Amino acid sequence: MGGITRPYDGVADLRSMQRLVQEAWALTGPNVERHVGDLAWGTFQHVGREPESERRLWEEDGELVAYGWLHRPGTLDYQLDPRRPELLDDVLTWFEEAAEHGPLETSALAADLAARETLRRHGYVEIEDAPWFAYMLHDLENVAEQAVPEGYSLRTVRGPDDLQRRVDVHRAAFHPSRVTAESYRNVMAGWPYRPDLDCVVEAPDASFAAYALAWYDDRNRVGALEPVGTHPEHRRLGLARAVNLLALRRLRETGAESAIVLCRGDSAYPAPKLLYESVGFRQHSRGIIYRRS
Q: Are 247 and 214 in contact (CB under 8 A)?
A: yes
| 78, 102, 126 - which closes a domain | 102
Would you state the pLDDT for residue 1?
A: 44
DSSP letter at 23 equals H
Is there a single domain that holds both residue 226 and residue 158? yes
Is there a single domain that holds both residue 79 and residue 155? no
Judge whether 128 lies within some domain.
no
Judge whether 182 lies within some domain.
yes
Task: State the Cα–Cα distance between residues 107 and 266, nearest whole angstrom.
Answer: 15
At 220-248, the pLDDT tens digits run 999 999 999 999 999 999 999 999 999 99
The predicted model scores a pTM of 0.96
Is there a single domain that holds both residue 187 and residue 245? yes
Judge whether 127 lies within some domain.
no
Is there a single domain that holds both residue 73 and residue 174? no
Dihedral angle, C-alpha 69, 75, 78, 84, nearest 10 °:
120
Q: What is the pLDDT along the chain (293 residues), one digit of tens a residue?
A: 468 999 999 999 999 999 999 999 999 999 999 999 999 999 999 888 888 999 999 999 999 999 999 999 999 999 999 999 999 999 999 999 999 878 999 999 999 999 999 999 999 999 988 888 999 999 999 999 989 999 999 999 998 999 999 999 999 999 999 999 999 999 999 999 999 999 999 999 999 999 999 999 999 999 999 999 999 999 999 999 999 999 999 999 999 999 999 999 988 899 999 999 999 999 999 999 999 98
Is there a single domain that holds both residue 160 and residue 214? yes
Would you state the pLDDT for residue 49?
A: 85
Q: Name the residue among 214, 193, 198, 217 with its Cα closest to residue 36.
A: 217
Judge whether 122 lies within some domain.
no
Would you state the pLDDT for residue 2?
A: 60
Judge whether 72 lies within some domain.
yes
How many CB atoms sit inside 10 A of residue 17's CB? 22
Q: Name the residue among 5, 7, 117 with its Cα closest to residue 65.
A: 5
Would you state the pLDDT for residue 29?
A: 94
Is there a single domain that holds both residue 153 and residue 237? yes
Q: How many Cα atoms sit within 13 Å of 4 on the Cβ side?
A: 7
Judge whether 286 lies within some domain.
no
Structural domain boundaries, residue 96: 3-102
Q: Are 254 and 89 in contact (CB under 8 A)?
A: no
Q: Are 69 and 53 in contact (CB under 8 A)?
A: yes
Judge whether 243 lies within some domain.
yes
Is there a single domain that holds both residue 170 and residue 239? yes
The greatest distance separating any two alpha carbons of the chain, rounded to the nearest whole angstrom, comes to 63
CATH number where 179 lies: 3.40.630.30
Amino acid at position 282, single letter: R
Judge whether 241 lies within some domain.
yes
97: three-class secondary structure by DSSP: helix
Domains of the chain: total: 2
